[in-house]
C-alpha cells in the first residue's frame, strides 16, 4: 500500500522492500524454469539434458531447470557454487567449491572445472547441452593453461584487481590463461558439434550485459588478444610484478593458442536477468509505495569513491531543488535509483570491506549533519556479498552518520588508521550501518537506493 505520513519513508525497512523487489525480479529459479519450458519442451525433444554451470546463482538456476524438465526429459550434470548453496537436484549435482565470503579460486574449484570439461567431452550426440552462468562464475571455474599454476593465476588476478583493472581487463587476461574461459568450453565439442544447439542461460553481472565478459565467456568468442592483455598489464603498472610463467606465456602468445574468435552457429546465448531488469523492478516498487522516482540508470562503473562523490552532488542538487520548491507534487518523498558495478584501487594491505561499503562510508564522511537528516540510502550487492565480508553493503542515514562521527571523535587515531587501511567494514560496523541480508541466490551487480523527504514534508 502507498506510504502515508504515519509510515516513515526513511525507515530502512522500506528501502529493503524496494531492494527485495529487485531481487525477486531476477529470481534465477523462476527465470530458468520459464526459459526451459519455452525452449526445450517442443516436439523435437532430446533424449536427455546435460547441465554444465557455475556461479552464485547456480543452485537456483539448477533447481529451476530440473523443475522445468521434471518427468519429461532426463537430466544430469554439474553446477559449481560457493559453499552454503550445495545440493543434489535429481541427477544434477550442485557442488560447493569455495567459501561463501571469498572470490578466490580454490583447488576444489580447479577439480570441479576439470569435471565440467570431462562432462563436455562425454556428451551423447542425442543429448542437449544447457550451460548455466551467473556472477562469480569466473572464480568458480579456474582451469589454468599448461605451464601456469593455480597460485600463479590467483596472483595475477589479485595484482590486476588491486591496480583497479576493469572487469573487461581482468577477464581478458583470465581468458588467455584458461582452458575453460574465452570460448574454451565450446572447443571441447569440436570438431563434432552437438546435434542439438547448445543453450546458455545467463544472469548478467556486467555493465551493458556483454556475453563475452560474463563468467569470462566460456560459451562465446573472445575479442581480446594476447597483445591487448600485455598492454593492459603494462598500463596498469603490474607487468613486471606478474609471475615469470605468466609473462612468458602471454609474451609468446600466437595464433595456435589464441582464444576462440568466432562463436559457432550452434550456440544460443541468452541473457535472462540483468541489473537493468532488477532496477526497473525496484523503481516500480518505489512508485507503488508512493515515491516520486528518479532512475539514474544501470551503467555506472569506475572507481567507487568517485561514484560516491558524483552521487553526493546529485543528492545536494535534489535537496537544494526541494528547498527551493522546484519539485512538483511536493508531498511525495523522492527515491533515486542507480545500478552497475564499480572497482576499488586497493592499498597494500587493505582491511575488509567491498565497493558498496566504500561507497556508503564515503557518503557518511562527506555529508553534513543537516544534509543527512532527510536521507536514507542503501548501496548493496544483489548477491548479498560485498568483498570478502558477510555484508552486502552499507546504509547512509542520520543514525549511521551520528554513530560514526561520535566514534571518530572519541577515537581519532584509530579512525585515521582504519581509513588508511580501507577497513570500511569495521567503520560501518561502528556506525551500525552494515546491510547483511545473506546470500540472495542471484547476482546482477549492485543497486543504490536513496530516499529523500522533501522540505515540505
Helices (DSSP H) in 289-385: which residue ranges? Answer: 304-323, 355-366, 369-372
Contacts of 45 (CB under 8 A, 6+ apart): 72, 73
pLDDT confidence bin for 1, thresholds 50/70/90: low
Closest to 275 (Cα-Cα) out of 390, 167, 424: 167
Residue 253: pLDDT over 90: no
DSSP assignments along 151-217, one per residue: HHHHHHHHHHHHTT--HHHHHHHHHHTBSSTTTTTGGGG-SS--SSPEEEEEE--STT--TTTGGG-
Residue 255: pLDDT over 70: no
User: How far apart are alpha carbons 44 and 12 in whole angstroms?
Assistant: 50
pLDDT tens sequence across 217-247 = 999 999 999 999 999 999 999 999 999 999 9
Of 3.40.50.300, 3.40.1480.10, 3.40.640.10, 3.30.413.10, the CATH number of 12-23+276-452 is 3.40.1480.10
DSSP state of 384: S
| pTM of the entire predicted model | 0.86
Average pLDDT over residues 235-260: 89
Residue 6: pLDDT over 70: no
User: How far apart are alpha carbons 143 and 112 in whole angstroms?
Assistant: 9
Lowest mean pLDDT of 174-188, 340-354, 393-407, name the range: 340-354
pLDDT score for 164: 85
pLDDT tens sequence across 432-451 = 999 999 989 898 999 999 99
| Three-point CA angle 209, 334, 385, nearest 5° | 45
pLDDT tens sequence across 305-322 = 999 999 999 999 988 887
User: How far apart are alpha carbons 320 and 337 in whole angstroms?
Assistant: 18
Residue with the larger pLDDT of the pair 454 and 317 = 317
Residue 160: pLDDT over 60: yes
pLDDT score for 345: 83
pLDDT confidence bin for 167, thresholds 50/70/90: confident
pLDDT tens sequence across 10-60 = 899 999 999 999 999 999 999 999 999 999 877 778 889 999 999 999 999
Helices (DSSP H) in 291-423: which residue ranges? Answer: 304-323, 355-366, 369-372, 398-410, 412-420
Average pLDDT over residues 115-134: 93
Residue 457: pLDDT over 70: no
Q: Mean pLDDT of all residues in the chain?
A: 91
User: How far apart are alpha carbons 133 and 212 in whole angstroms?
Assistant: 12
User: How far apart are alpha carbons 308 and 179 in whole angstroms?
Assistant: 38
Of 3.40.50.10180, 2.40.10.340, 3.40.50.2300, 3.30.470.20, the CATH number of 27-273 is 3.40.50.10180
If you count them, how many residues does the chain have? 457
341 by DSSP, 3-state: which? Answer: coil
- Residue ranges covered by each domain of the chain: 12-23+276-452, 27-273
Amino acid at each position: 500500500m502507498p506510504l502515508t505520513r504515519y509510515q516513515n519513508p526513511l525507515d530502512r525497512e522500506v528501502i529493503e522492500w524496494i531492494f527485495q523487489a529487485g531481487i525477486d525480479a531476477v529470481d534465477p529459479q523462476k527465470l530458468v524454469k520459464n526459459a526451459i519450458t519455452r525452449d526445450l519442451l517442443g516436439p523435437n525433444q532430446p533424449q536427455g539434458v546435460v547441465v554444465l554451470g557455475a556461479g552464485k546463482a547456480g543452485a537456483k538456476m539448477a533447481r529451476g531447470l530440473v523443475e522445468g524438465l521434471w518427468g519429461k526429459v532426463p537430466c544430469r550434470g554439474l553446477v559449481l557454487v560457493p559453499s552454503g548453496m550445495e545440493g543434489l537436484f535429481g541427477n544434477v549435482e550442485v557442488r560447493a567449491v569455495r567459501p561463501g565470503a571469498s572470490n578466490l579460486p580454490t583447488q576444489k574449484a580447479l577439480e570441479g572445472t576439470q569435471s565440467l570439461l570431462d562432462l563436455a567431452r562425454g556428451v551423447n550426440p542425442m543429448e542437449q547441452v544447457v550451460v548455466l552462468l551467473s556472477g562469480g562464475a569466473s572464480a568458480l571455474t579456474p582451469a589454468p593453461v599448461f605451464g601456469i599454476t593455480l597460485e600463479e593465476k590467483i596472483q595475477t588476478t589479485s595484482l590486476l584487481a588491486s591496480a583497479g583493472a576493469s572487469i573487461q581487463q581482468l577477464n581478458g587476461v583470465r581468458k588467455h590463461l584458461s582452458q575453460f574461459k574465452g570460448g574454451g568450453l565450446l572447443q571441447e565439442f569440436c570438431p563434432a558439434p552437438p546435434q542439438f544447439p547448445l543453450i546458455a542461460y545467463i544472469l548478467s553481472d556486467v555493465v551493458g550485459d556483454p556475453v563475452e565478459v560474463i563468467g569470462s565467456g566460456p560459451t562465446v568468442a573472445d575479442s581480446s588478444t594476447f597483445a591487448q592483455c600485455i598492454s593492459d598489464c603494462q598500463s596498469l603498472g603490474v607487468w613486471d610484478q606478474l609471475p615469470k610463467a605468466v609473462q612468458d606465456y602471454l609474451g609468446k602468445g600466437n595464433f595456435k593458442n589464441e582464444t576462440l574468435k568466432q562463436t559457432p552457429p550452434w550456440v544460443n546465448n541468452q541473457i535472462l536477468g540483468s541489473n537493468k531488469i532488477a532496477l526497473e523492478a525496484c523503481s516500480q516498487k518505489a512508485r507503488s509505495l508512493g515515491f516520486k522516482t528518479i532512475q539514474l540508470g544501470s551503467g555506472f562503473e569506475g572507481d567507487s569513491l568517485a561514484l560516491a562523490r558524483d552521487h553526493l552532488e546529485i543528492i545536494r542538487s535534489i535537496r537544494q531543488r526541494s528547498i527551493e520548491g522546484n519539485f512538483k507534487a511536493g508531498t511525495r518523498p523522492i527515491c533515486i535509483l542507480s545500478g552497475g558495478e564499480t572497482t576499488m584501487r586497493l592499498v597494500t594491505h587493505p582491511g575488509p570491506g567491498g565497493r558498496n561499503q566504500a561507497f556508503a562510508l564515503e557518503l557518511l564522511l562527506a555529508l553534513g549533519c543537516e544534509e543527512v537528516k532527510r536521507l536514507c540510502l542503501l548501496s548493496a550487492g544483489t548477491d548479498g556479498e560485498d568483498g570478502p565480508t558477510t555484508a552486502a553493503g552499507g546504509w547512509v542515514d542520520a543514525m549511521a552518520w551520528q554513530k560514526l562521527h561520535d566514534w571518530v571523535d572519541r577515537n581519532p587515531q584509530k579512525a585515521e588508521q582504519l581509513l588508511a587501511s580501507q577497513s570500511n567494514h569495521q567503520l560501518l560496523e561502528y556506525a551500525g550501518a552494515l546491510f547483511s541480508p545473506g546470500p540472495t541466490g542471484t547476482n546482477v551487480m549492485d543497486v543504490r537506493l536513496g530516499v529523500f523527504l522533501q522540505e515540505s514534508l
